[in-house]
Structure 1
Amino acid sequence: MQNQNGQATWFRRWVLDNKVVAGLIVGLVILATIYMLNKVSFIFDPVVKFLGVVAGPILLATAFYYLLNPLVNWTERRLHLKRMWTILIIFTVLLGLIIWGLAVFIPWLGTQISSFASHIPAYWHKVNQVVEQYSRQDYAPQADALVKKTSAEAMTWVQSLNLSETSKGLSSVGSLLGSVVGVVVTLVTFPVILYYLLQDGARLPHYVGQFLPPRLQPSFYSTLTEINQQISNYVRGTLAVCFAVMIMFGIGYTVIGLPYGWLLAVIAGLCNIIPFIGSALALVPAFAVALSGNFMLVVQVFIVFLIEQTLESRVVSPKLMGHSLHIHPVTVLMILLSAGTVFGVLGVVLGIPVYAVLKVLCSRLYRWWRHVSSLYPDGNTKE
């Protein structure tokens, strides 16, 4: 009996209460689960297709929910109206703004884009001239070879970009019809989803939580509250920063007299959905347009960019977004690179909020593990 107790004590000390062994076991279980799911992936194909259909309107409705919900709450309190009437009033105002945009802003934007597209060959010719000019400079042999090789590769890559593949894909009637149907379904269903989110979104956690054991409900509600706060801060903050960036670039480009300044400012605002590198990406077409003028215009564009980055990083972002996500800039860049490589543009846009949600879940799970596990003697007290 003592021998058995000794063996049990040894097994518990070196296996059950060993952090390394526990971590390895958890890792093996996760890998085994991923392996088994990969083997039966065909079972989930219908689910993936279904999610692909509903993901668009749900994501769009969720983004607008986080944007409009504070306005609905404020209007409901101030006007003392039923929430349904408050939502309908806001929807009516939004519909009016959309009609105004279709009547005024969209035609202007279309004219700007059409004119800008017609000048792209001239801008590209100017860029080629600049590249060829610098490639003929008398650099050191290694630098000269590198410049010539890079210039040649860039020219070859741009010349290889043609619309044959795109035209070939769009020539398929079925593909085009499917795209149109998808857009129509999204535009029709997302307002309905948005309405019910605004109307009943606050009751959704309690509806789901009633199916959980009572002892788990407080933790479940607090986790959802933290996730909701993270996503809410990110969505509203990002959209506000994008709008502020568009205004700053628009004013700056107008002051220096850059052609298509407000169109480039709109592009900069849209690109700023991608944290840290969005404004830098929007600088590429601005430099291409500036090169059609003179070198001083290029310098002025760069000065506008420096001023915008200073105001954005020192004033706009801290005021509008703060540090609610608590994500290090290097982590953000790693998320953007990995999510963009795996999931493309959608991964770049959704990578940060998905990471924020996973961070909340993992931190909660870790705190629960510290509380219940004997591996952390100091973690058995409630936080």
Structure 2
Amino acid sequence: MEVEKHHQKNNFFVKWFLNNRFSIVLLNILLFFLIIWVFNQISFVLNPFWTFFNAILPPVLVASIQYYLMDPVVDWMEKKLKVPRIITIILLFVIVLGGLIWIINTLIPIIQHQTDSLIKNWPAYWQDAQRGFEKMIHDPRLNGVRSGINQVISDAQTKMFKTGQDSFNLALSNLSSAVNVITMIFMTLLTAPFVLFFMLKDGHRLNPYVTKFAPQKLQPSFSSLLSDINGAVASYIRGQITVAFWVGVMFAIGYSVIGLNYGITLAVLAGVLNMIPYFGTFIAFIPAIILGLISSPMMLVKVLIVFAIEQTLEGRVISPLVMGNKMNMNPVTTILLLIGASAVAGLWGVIFAIPVYAVIKIIVTRLFNYYRKISTLYDEISESDDANLKSKE
């Protein structure tokens, strides 16, 4: 009798705790937050590692972006034309150096000239805009709301002045931080080429090397996981940079055709900001609208037409050809992810949200599939799947 009661208690424990999905999910969540709490308690131990990581991150990040752009060329030259990797890497470095020299000698002087001209002429543009706005608010049809508009303008000017003064004071108080930033940029530019060289030379050996540390029976799946992560990150970086390049080219051509002042500078700005998914192009479009509005109503219409053509070509031709659906993300998911990432980590969160999400998604999917395979909780699902497969056959 006692044995039977003990058996029933064991069955109850197994049924409601060991083989209960809800209990296991709660236990995993508890362990996850327990691990976070433990790491938070020993954060002082991890601070040196975090400082070290922050120091090496910029050159590694810059080198990684260039690696994903150059590595397909190096692999293709080695496999198809039997050209040694070092020779291809040196040729690519020479080409990149030549491109940088061309940019420094050709593109940067144009941008500098247009930027200097914009700064010089901005007071005149601002006065024209003020006169146009004052003319608009003195329209007899706005008599009822004129006082409210004047109050809004006064408040905006006060806030802008206060913000500018605070920014100036903050800049003066953080000169040491500015020196640190300049030092970091210099060290990044100095060390990134060396990191890139060895990444291109030996990067294809990283997967087999890391896989050796996994258990023998897990090495094939672990190697496949690393390949999937590498492919997702590579697709995103190559796609974003390629699309950003063509966005800059399309805006440069469009602004040059309509004769918009500072078109090259605005086009370069649009290409750079296009690295921010969904929102970057619209942010870069704001100064173009302002300059078009200041120039003339007809110029504003031309700017809007250029923007419409660029968005159509980017959305219907360039992005589908370059990006396709490689990230396998719903647009709503992407937008919500970007909004949340911007609230958590600002600009860096927006830039890195999608690739980080893609990596986490791959890892979680692999872990779930592995758990589903070894767990008895999904036996009934597996059996039904088998039955469906057999019925289809």
Name the TM-score, length of structure 2 as normaliser. Answer: 0.89
- Compared CA separation, residues 73 and 140, structure 1 to 2 (3 A): farther
Q: Secondary structure at the match of 2:181?
A: helix
- After TM superposition, the structure 1 stretch with the greater mean CA deviation from structure 2, 165-174 or 344-353, is 165-174
Unaligned runs of 5+ in 1: none
Q: Residue 346 of structure 1 aligns with which residue?
A: 348
Q: In structure 2, what is the Cα distance between the partners aligned to 1:153 and 1:365?
A: 54
Q: Is the 8 A contact 2:110 2:264 kept in 1?
A: no
Equivalent residue in structure 2 for 1:300, among 287, 299, 302:
302
Q: Which amino acid aligns with 2:111?
A: L
Q: In structure 2, what is the Cα distance between the partners aligned to 1:332 and 1:100?
A: 37
Q: Is the 8 A contact 1:242 1:269 kept in 2?
A: yes
Equivalent residue in structure 2 for 1:358, among 345, 360, 363:
360
- Compared CA separation, residues 131 and 350, structure 1 to 2 (3 A): farther
Q: Residue 86 of structure 1 aligns with which residue?
A: 88
Q: Which amino acid aligns with 2:247?
A: V
Q: Residue 111 of structure 1 aligns with which residue?
A: 113
Q: CA deviation at 1:39?
A: 2.2
Q: Residue 328 of structure 1 aligns with which residue?
A: 330
Q: Secondary structure at the match of 1:325?
A: coil
Q: Residue 237 of structure 1 aligns with which residue?
A: 239
Q: In structure 2, what is the Cα distance between the partners aligned to 1:114 and 1:241?
A: 28
Q: In structure 1, what is the Cα distance between the partners aligned to 2:21 and 2:138?
A: 62
Percent of aligned pairs sharing the same letter: 36
Q: In structure 2, what is the Cα distance between the partners aligned to 1:82 and 1:167?
A: 55
Q: Mark the structure with the bigger radius of gyration.
A: 2
Q: CA deviation at 1:75?
A: 2.7
Q: Residue 69 of structure 1 aligns with which residue?
A: 71
Q: In structure 1, what is the Cα distance between the partners aligned to 2:127 and 2:9?
A: 80
Q: In structure 2, what is the Cα distance between the partners aligned to 1:352 and 1:198?
A: 25
Q: In structure 1, what is the Cα distance between the partners aligned to 2:213 and 2:59?
A: 27
Q: CA deviation at 1:126?
A: 4.3
Q: In structure 2, what is the Cα distance between the partners aligned to 1:149 and 1:313?
A: 41
- Compared CA separation, residues 149 and 279, structure 1 to 2 (3 A): farther
Name the TM-score, length of structure 1 as normaliser. Answer: 0.91
Q: Is the 8 A contact 1:205 1:224 kept in 2?
A: yes
Q: Is the 8 A contact 2:248 2:268 kept in 1?
A: yes
- Compared CA separation, residues 124 and 161, structure 1 to 2 (3 A): farther
Q: In structure 1, what is the Cα distance between the partners aligned to 2:252 and 2:366?
A: 43
- After TM superposition, the structure 1 stretch with the greater mean CA deviation from structure 2, 41-50 or 232-241, is 41-50
Q: Which amino acid aligns with 1:304?
A: V
Q: In structure 2, what is the Cα distance between the partners aligned to 1:14 and 1:140?
A: 72
Q: Residue 257 of structure 2 aligns with which residue?
A: 255
Q: CA deviation at 1:163?
A: 6.1
Q: Is the 8 A contact 1:18 1:375 kept in 2?
A: yes
Equivalent residue in structure 2 for 1:211, among 210, 213, 217:
213
Q: CA deviation at 1:147?
A: 5.9
- Compared CA separation, residues 160 and 127, structure 1 to 2 (3 A): farther
Q: CA deviation at 1:305?
A: 1.2
- Compared CA separation, residues 208 and 376, structure 1 to 2 (3 A): same
Q: Which amino acid aligns with 2:336?
A: M
Q: In structure 2, what is the Cα distance between the partners aligned to 1:175 and 1:379?
A: 58
Alignment of 1:160-179 (within 5 A): 160-162=162-164, 165-166=167-168, 169=171, 174-179=176-181
The CA RMSD over aligned residues, in Å, is 2.5
Q: Secondary structure at the match of 1:297?
A: helix
Q: How many residues align?
A: 382
Q: In structure 2, what is the Cα distance between the partners aligned to 1:147 and 1:241?
A: 41
Q: In structure 1, what is the Cα distance between the partners aligned to 2:330 and 2:132?
A: 38
Alignment of 1:50-199 (within 5 A): 50-129=52-131, 138=141, 151-162=153-164, 165-166=167-168, 169=171, 174-199=176-201
Q: CA deviation at 1:89?
A: 1.5
Q: In structure 2, what is the Cα distance between the partners aligned to 1:195 and 1:126?
A: 53
- Compared CA separation, residues 29 and 379, structure 1 to 2 (3 A): farther
Unaligned runs of 5+ in 2: 387-393
- Compared CA separation, residues 211 and 78, structure 1 to 2 (3 A): closer
Structure 1 position 222 matched with structure 2 position 224: yes
Deviations 1:247-289 (A, max 9, x none): 1111211222211111111111111101111111111100111
Q: In structure 1, what is the Cα distance between the partners aligned to 2:219 and 2:186?
A: 39
Q: Residue 390 of structure 2 aligns with which residue?
A: none
Q: Which amino acid aligns with 2:268?
A: V
Q: Is the 8 A contact 2:338 2:353 kept in 1?
A: yes
Deviations 1:138-172 (A, max 9, x none): 4697x888866655554443333426634653576
Q: Residue 47 of structure 2 aligns with which residue?
A: 45
- After TM superposition, the structure 1 stretch with the greater mean CA deviation from structure 2, 329-338 or 170-179, is 170-179
Deviations 1:76-135 (A, max 9, x none): 345432111111111122112212222222222222222222233334444445555565
Q: Secondary structure at the match of 1:196?
A: helix
Q: Which amino acid aligns with 2:248?
A: M
Deviations 1:4-42 (A, max 9, x none): 111111111111222221111111111222222222222
Q: Which amino acid aligns with 1:220?
A: F
